[in-house]
C-alpha cells in the first residue's frame, strides 16, 4: 500500500491548510460597545496590526499551498518517512493562526516584547521551511520518490529555491527586529515574488538543457 | 506542472468556502442564565439580528460557491496569477464570518455606528466581487486559460453577469444605509435570483447563436 | 455545466458536514481551577448533559451524512434548485453545534426553559428533514435528476423513509417535553436504527420485484 | 449503493481528522498584557505543558490518519455497520482537542487532579483503539469487506498490530500516573515507531510466505 498514490496525502494536507487559512480571520474581534461619540471606524481602524498580520499570514499560507503542490507534482510515491516529514510542515502551518494573533497583539508593544513576537512569528516560518527542505530532499535524493518523468530542471530549480527559503526568513526576521510592520509588508511582496516558478533558481544551465 | 488540472485549486477553494460557511453559525451565542420570569424564548428572539445576518451571509456564500464552480467549469488550466487572484476571492470569503458578526452586533445600534457596519459588510462583498471579476477576466481574456470547448455564449454571459455584480453591491449598500435589515432581506432574494444562470445577461444574441 | 457531475456538490457537502461534526466537541469546556478537596472527576462528571447532547448530535449528523450519500447515490445530475435545497440541508446542519450547546446548557434547567431548548433542538432537526424531503422529491419527481439506472425500489423506499422522518422528529419532540434526557438517549437508538437501509419502508413489493 | 466505493468514507474521515488536528493549535493562548519587567519569553515558556500536549496529540492524530489509510487500503467495500464503527473512531478523534486542552491545563496540578487528566487523556486513546479494532475485525473477519487481492500477510500483521494497541495505551497510562510529562514524550516516540509498517507483527511466517 505504501509507495502508491500521493493523492490522499495531498487531500489531507489541503484540508489542514484550508482550515488554517480560514481560521486566521477568527482573530478579528468585533469591537464591543463604543463609548458615546467614538466612531466605530476608529475602533475598527485601531485593529490594523491584526489586519496586517492576517493578510501577511494569509498570503504566506497561500504561497505554501502553491509550493506544496508544486513539490508533490514531482513526487510520485509516498512512504512513512515522507508522511512524517509532511506532518512537520503541517504542524508549522497549524500554529500560524496562533503566531498571527500574537503579532496582532504585540506589533505595537514596547521593543522587548514585540521583538519576541517577531522571533516567534518568523521562527515558525523557519520551522516550516526546514521541514519543506527535509521532505523535498528526502523525496528527491537519488530520485527516491520522484516521478520518473519529473522534469530534471524543475527539480533542481526547486531544490535551489527551497535552499534560499531558510536564509530568506532569517533576513525577514532581522528586518522585523528593527521595523516589524515594514517587515510584514515586505514579506507579502517577497512571498508573491516566490510564488512564480523562479527563473533565477533554474540558472544558466536551463538554457543549455532546454536547447535542442 | 502549472497550467494543468484545476481540480486541486477547486478542492482547496471548496475547503475554504465550506469552512467559512460552517463557522458562521459559531456566532450564535447560547443565552446565559436567564433572570427569574424571563423566558428563554425572548432571549433567543432578541438575537434576531444575528440570525438575519447569518442567513444572509450563508446564502451569499452558497451563491459564491455556485458561481465559483460555474466559473471553473469554463477554465481548463491554471497558472500562478490565477491562483493569486483566486486567493483574493478566498480572502474575502474568510473575512465574512467576522463581518457577519459585526452586523449581528451593530444592526440595531445608532445610525452612525450601524452604517459603518453596513459599509464594511457590503465592502467585503465588493472586494470579493472585484477579485471574481479579475480572476474571470484574466482567465477568459483571449481565452488564456479557458477550456477550448467552452460555450462561447455562456462565457460572454458570465462576463456580463460579473460586471453587474459590483454596481449591484453598491445599490445594496445604499439601501443598507437607509434600512439595514431590509437590505439584508433584499440581498437574500437578489442572491437567489443570481444563482440561476441568467438569461438576462446572455441577451438576444443567444437566440441567434444557438440556432442551427 | 449545470446538470453534470454531482461529485463537487457532494464534496462540498461532505466538507460542511465534517466540519460541523468536529466543531461539536469544542463545546466541552475544560473545568477551571477546582477548589481544594473537590475532585476533577466530579467537575468533569457535572458536564454530562453536554456529553449526552454531543453524542446524540454526533450520531444524528453521522446518520444524516449516510442518508445524504444514499440520496446522492441515486441522483445523477444537479441543477440550481437542487443546489439551493441542498443548501437548506447544510444550513440546518451548521446550526447543530449551537443547538447542541443550548441543550448542554439547559437540559437540567427549570421546565419552562428546558422545554424551549427541546423545541429548538428538535425544531432544527425538523427543518433539516423538510429540506431533505424537498431535495429528494425535487430530484426524484418524474425522475428529474435521477440516475437512469436507479433502483426503482430503493428510490421508493427512500421516499417512504424520508416521509416518516418529519413525524418521527415530532414524536421525539413530544417525549423531550416530558423527559428531555431520555429523549436524547432514544434519539441515538432511533438514529442508528434508521441508518440501516430500511426493509420496512421497501414493503412487500420488494419481494415481487426482485424475483426473477 | 452500499458495499461500493470506500472513497467517500475516506474523504469524510480525512475531513474530520484534518479539522481535529488543525483545531489543536487553537488551544495555545496569546499571553495577555505582561506586567512591567516580565519578559514575554517567560509568559510563552510557561505554557510548555500546552505545547507538549499539543505536539503529542498532533503526532498521535497523524499516526491515526496513517493507520486509517493503511486499514482502508485493504478494505474494498463498506456497509452500514462499518460506517458506524468508523463513526466511533471519528468520535474519539474529535474529542482529542478537548482532552489535549485538559492535559495542558492540569499537567502540573496536584497529583489527584493531574492523574484524572492522565486517565481521561489515555482513556480517549483507548476508546479510539477499541473502535479501530472493532472496525478492522468486522471488515476483515472472513474477508467480509476486504479487497480480494488484499495481501494476506499484511492483513494478519495489521490484526496483530491493532491487538497490541490497547494494552500499549494501558502501559502509557500507568507511566502517566507516575510521571505525566515523561509519558507524553514517550508517547511521541512510540507513535512514530508504530507509524512504520511493523515487521515485528508480521512475524516469522512472512519469510516463508514471501518465498518463491
Domain extent listing, chain B: 18-23+47-203
According to the model, what pLDDT value does residue D199 have?
55
Touching subunits for chain D (3+ Cβ pairs under 8 A): A, C
What are chain B's partners, defined as 3 or more CB pairs within 8 angstroms? A, C
Nearest to C28 by CA among C43, C50, C48: C50
- d(CA D68, CA D18) in angstroms, rounded, equals 13
Which chain C residues have a beta carbon less than 8 Å from that of B23? 19
Average pLDDT, chain A: 85
Which residue would you say has higher pLDDT here, B185 or A154? B185
Name which residue leads in pLDDT, D205 or A133. Answer: A133
Q: Is B195 on the interface with C (CB under 8 A)?
A: yes
Q: What is the pLDDT of residue A19?
A: 95
- The DSSP code sequence of D186-200 is HHHHHHHHHHS--HH
Q: Report H helices in C75-148.
A: 80-106, 111-140
Cβ separation A113–D40 shorter than 8 A: yes
**Percent of chain A at pLDDT exceeding 90:** 50
Cell 430530484 belongs to C139
DSSP string spanning D32-100?
----TT--HHHHHHTTHHHHHHHHHHHHHHHHHHHHHHHHHHHB----HHHHHHHHHHHHHHHHHHHHH
Query: Chain A: nearest CA to D74, how far in angstroms?
Result: 8
pLDDT at residue A211, as a whole number: 30
Whether the pLDDT of residue D163 is over 50: the answer is yes
pLDDT digits (tens, 9 = 90+) for A73-117: 888 888 889 999 999 999 999 999 999 999 999 998 888 888 999
Mean pLDDT of A161-166: 81
Contacts of residue D99 in chain C, CB cutoff 8 Å? none
Query: Residue C2's closest chain B neighbor by CA?
Result: B70
Note the maximum CA span of chain C: 74
| Cα angle: D143, vertex D146, D149; to 5 degrees | 105
Give D-chain residues touching A8 at CB under 8 angstroms: 10, 14, 69
Nearest-by-CA chain D residue for A2 = D70
C198's CB contacts (< 8 A; 6+ apart) are: C157, C161
Stretches where chain C sits below pLDDT 50 are: 1-4, 203-212
Report pLDDT digits (tens) over B1-59. Answer: 333 468 889 889 999 999 999 999 998 999 987 776 678 899 999 999 999 999 999 99
| pLDDT of A14 over the 90 cut | yes
pLDDT higher than 50, residue D57: yes
Evaluate whether D12 touches C72 at the Cβ level (below 8 Å). no
Q: What are phi and psi of A134, to 5 degrees?
A: -65, -45
CA distance B210 to B197: 16
Report CA torsion sign: C59, C63, C68, C73. Answer: positive
User: Is the model's pLDDT at B86 over the cut of 50?
Assistant: yes
pTM for the full predicted model: 0.89
Whether pLDDT at A39 is above 90: no
H helix or E strand, kind and range, residue C65: helix C48-74
**The pLDDT of residue C5:** 64
Predicted confidence at residue D4, as pLDDT, reads 42
Using the beta-carbon criterion (under 8 Å), do D116 and C39 form an inter-chain contact? yes
In Å, how far are A118, A179, A187, B196, D44 from A111, measured between CA atoms?
A: 10, 10, 20, 55, 16
∠A151-A161-A21 over CA atoms, to 5°?
A: 100
pLDDT interval class at D131 (50, 70, 90): very high
Distance (Å, whole) CA A53 – CA A30: 17
Q: What is the mean pLDDT of residues D65-69?
A: 90
Do the beta carbons of residue D71 and residue D31 sit within 8 Å? no
Q: Is D116 on the interface with C (CB under 8 A)?
A: yes
Contact indicator for C60, C125 with CB cutoff of 8 Å? yes
Could you tell me the pLDDT band of residue A7, with boundaries at 50, 70 and 90? confident
Torsion over CA of B13, B16, B20 and B22, rounded to 10 degrees?
100
Residue of D nearest to A7 (CA): D11
The three-class DSSP label of residue A139 is helix
Which chain A residues are closer than 8 Å to B101 by Cβ?
Answer: 30
Mean pLDDT within B54-82? 91
Mean pLDDT of chain C: 85
Reference B169, options B130, B122, B116; nearest CA is B122
DSSP letter for each residue of chain B: -TTS-SHHHHHHHHHHHHHHHHHGGGGPPPP----TT--HHHHHHTTHHHHHHHHHHHHHHHHHHHHHHHHHHHB----HHHHHHHHHHHHHHHHHHHHHHHHHHHTTS-HHHHHHHHHHHHHHHHHHHHHHHHHHHHHHGGGTTB-TT--HHHHHHHHHHHHHHHHHHHHHHHHHHH-HHHHHHHHHHHHHHHHS--HHHHTTHHHHHH--
What per-residue confidence (pLDDT) applies to A5? 64
Distance CA D26, CA A170 (A): 26
Query: For residue A143, which of A152, A134, A132 has the smallest C-alpha distance?
Result: A152
What 3-state DSSP class applies to C114?
helix
Q: Is D112 on the interface with C (CB under 8 A)?
A: yes
Amino acid at each position: 500500500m505504501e509507495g502508491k498514490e500521493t493523492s490522499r496525502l495531498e487531500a489531507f494536507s489541503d484540508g489542514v491548510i484550508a482550515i488554517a487559512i480560514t481560521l486566521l480571520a477568527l482573530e478579528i474581534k468585533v469591537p464591543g460597545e463604543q463609548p458615546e461619540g467614538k466612531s466605530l471606524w476608529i475602533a475598527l481602524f485601531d485593529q490594523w496590526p491584526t489586519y496586517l498580520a492576517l493578510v501577511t499570514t494569509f498570503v504566506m499560507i497561500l504561497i505554501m499551498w502553491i509550493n506544496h503542490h508544486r513539490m508533490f507534482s514531482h513526487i510520485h510515491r509516498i512512504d512513512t518517512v515522507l508522511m512524517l516529514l509532511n506532518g512537520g510542515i503541517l504542524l508549522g502551518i497549524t500554529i500560524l493562526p496562533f503566531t498571527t494573533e500574537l503579532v496582532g497583539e504585540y506589533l505595537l508593544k514596547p521593543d522587548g516584547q514585540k521583538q519576541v513576537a517577531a522571533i516567534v512569528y518568523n521562527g515558525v516560518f523557519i520551522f516550516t521551511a526546514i521541514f519543506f527542505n527535509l521532505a523535498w530532499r528526502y523525496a528527491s535524493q537519488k530520485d527516491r520518490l520522484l516521478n520518473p518523468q519529473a522534469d530534471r530542471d524543475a527539480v533542481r530549480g526547486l531544490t535551489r529555491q527551497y535552499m534560499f527559503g531558510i536564509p530568506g526568513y532569517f533576513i525577514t526576521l532581522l528586518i522585523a527586529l528593527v521595523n516589524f510592520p515594514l517587515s510584514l509588508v515586505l514579506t507579502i511582496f517577497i512571498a508573491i515574488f516566490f510564488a512564480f516558478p523562479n527563473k533565477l533558481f533554474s540558472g544558466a544551465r536551463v538554457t543549455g538543457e532546454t536547447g535542442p
